[in-house]
Chain A
Amino acid sequence: MASTPVAARIKREILPFIPYPVRDMLASLPEGTLGSLTEIRLRAGRPVSLVLPDRMGFVSRCGSLVDSPGLGYVFSAAEAKKALEMVTLGSVYALEEELRSGYITLAGGHRVGLVGKMVAGRDGQPVLRDISGFNFRVAREVPGCADTVMPYCISGDVHRMLSTLIISPPGAGKTTLLRDMVRQASDGVPRVGLPGHNVAVVDERSEIASCYQGQPQNDVGARTDVLDNCPKARGIMMLIRSMSPDVIATDEIGSQEDASAVREALNAGVSVLATAHARTLDDIYLRPALKALVDTRAFERVIALGRELGPGTLAGIYDAPTGQVLLRGPVRLAAGGGASPDAGRKDVDAKAAGRITGRNCIKSCGLDDIRDLRPQAL
């Protein structure tokens, strides 16, 4: 049986960095199981653990997924040492910065999270040593997952991207959605009248573009510049000055410094696409930097994601300045713009009525249950 595309990618791009015999055990997993892996966790002295979208398990010596840790193959400390050499291509000296950050990006955009002992490095900064745990996170692009949200994030009059904040709990697909929004903003979306924009990405944790040796491994669009591994606030200021972008995208803003940089970008006439950890809209108001950004109407749209229908569930799209609901979920965002039938119909109806932009989305969606973004107490 031919490998599924993801299974083939895992075999080609991840397994060569996993030492034998674990590599053979993983390669022996059924194609369907291998193709749906989201994480492969190797911990010295403990069984090899696998994470799938709907379950967790362990890999047995004979290469099958088992639920009991006692049946799982135990990864040794010697194998951990070997895995580090394989992941770094024997170049620990060249990856000191990555070891400080706790992850390494592989060709193909997959990331390897690392844990071990933190010790002071040459410059006093902590560096990871005696690495004992690896988390191979399988990179998955979902092209088209932003199709449903893009019409709501475009300004009707000047065809520009509206500044948008994507919020969700961890693992709900914030970065995946942001990546596809970046791609679409960069390439343009003719069906909704959005021309291509110069987009600049500050990719502090290499999660959006997943650069490997400076080259984006994910499709982030033809007009996108990526500043990899750069602190967000500094990167935003650098890009405003050096690359004159129309849109700046960054991941996981939260500090006051980030908020100042975002405001600086907006003042320079640049739209900002950003994500933040927040379980609900109300959580934004518990984080002073985000609260200030929303209060000062820095963002024009807020997209909330959840896990109600699994990762990539759209909980709602809101007009940030007024708090009006533009699209209420749950809607499952999927590759190629697939969405739940109900939401899909609304979207199609809206598209049929003409280009969907800002305010007319509210009308086209027929939403009368407008709610305030801000808790009344605030």
Chain B
Amino acid sequence: MISGTFARRPFELQEMRRALEILETEMLYSASLLPSAMEKAGDLAGPPVARIFREAARLIRSGEGLTVREAWTYSIESAYRLTSLTPQDRQILLELGDCLGSSSRDDQERHLRRIQDYLATHEARARAEMDSYCRMWQYLGLSAGLILAILLY
């Protein structure tokens, strides 16, 4: 369970970073409306990240009177349990909802880049943690084997 979380988190952070890159391209260079840009990002991302973007796009389009912040928050919160992201990752992603779509292109670019930088940094850390975790279990396994061998002889 814990080892699964360690193994999945870097891949999910990477997926999220890639999805935000697609979102940025769609928003800033294709000038797509936010729901369309989110759908595109959702189509190209793997689960469970795809689910976050598709759900947010659906809620914004629904005409139920939800703001982008509300739609984004709902999507993150409902998908969070299915991910291996940490509470800190979740908080950073939620912060994006405060400004997503609601300001000029320059401003949007700044916010999206900041989140992508965070994700890149934490992805590298998560990979390092995953490697050290794996190495630790390898050493533990080796040590346990040695101890067992010594005890047997």
Instruction: Give A residues with C-beta under 8 Å from B.
Output: 16-17, 19-20, 23, 82, 85-86, 88-94, 96, 121-122, 127
B87: CB under 8 A from chain A? no
- Whole-angstrom CA separation of A93 from B60 in the bound complex: 16
Are A92's CB and B32's CB within 8 A? no
Q: Of A86, A88, A93, A94, which contacts B65 at CB under 8 A?
A: A86
Whether A90 and B67, one on each chain, are in contact in the complex, defined by CB atoms closer than 8 angstroms, is yes
B103 in complex: contacting residue of A82, A86, A92, CB < 8 Å: A92
Give every chain B residue within 8 A of A121 (Cβ-Cβ).
Answer: 104
Residue pair B102, A122 in contact (C-beta under 8 Å): no
Nearest CB in chain B to that of A96: its residue: B104
Among B63, B67, B103, the residue within 8 A (CB) of A93 is B103
Contact partners of A93 in chain B: CB under 8 A: 27-28, 101, 103-105, 107-108
Is the CB–CB distance between B65 and A92 below 8 Å?
no
- Within 8 Å of chain A (Cβ to Cβ): is B85? no
Contact of A91 among B33, B63, B71, B107 (CB under 8 A): B33
Rounded to whole angstroms, the CA-CA distance of A78 and B104 in the bound complex is 20
- What range describes how many residues of B lie at the interface? 20 to 34
Within B56-105, the residues touching A (CB, 8 Å) are 60-61, 63, 65, 67-68, 71, 100-105
Known A16-B63, A89-B60; contact A94-B33, beta-carbon cutoff 8 A: yes
A90: chain B residues within 8 A (beta carbon): 33-35, 60, 67-68, 71, 100-102
The chain B residue sitting closest to A92, CB to CB, is B102
Measured between alpha carbons, how far is A82 from B65 in the docked complex, in Å? 8
Residues of B within 8 A of A19 (CB): 65
Whether B31 sits at the interface, judged by CB under 8 Å, is yes
B100/A92 in contact, CB under 8 A: no
For the complex of A and B, the 8 pairs showing the least CB-CB separation, nearest first, are: A16-B63, A90-B68, A90-B101, A91-B33, A91-B34, A90-B34, A93-B105, A93-B108
Give the nearest-CB partner of A82 in chain B. Answer: B67
Task: With both chains docked as a complex, state the minimum distance between the C-beta of A84 and any C-beta of chain B, in angstroms.
Answer: 8
Contact of A122 among B34, B35, B104 (CB under 8 A): B104
Q: A93-B28, A122-B106 are in contact. List 20 more A-B contacts (CB 8 A).
A: A20-B65, A23-B65, A85-B102, A86-B63, A88-B101, A89-B34, A90-B35, A90-B67, A90-B68, A90-B100, A91-B27, A91-B33, A92-B101, A92-B102, A92-B103, A93-B27, A93-B104, A94-B34, A96-B104, A121-B104
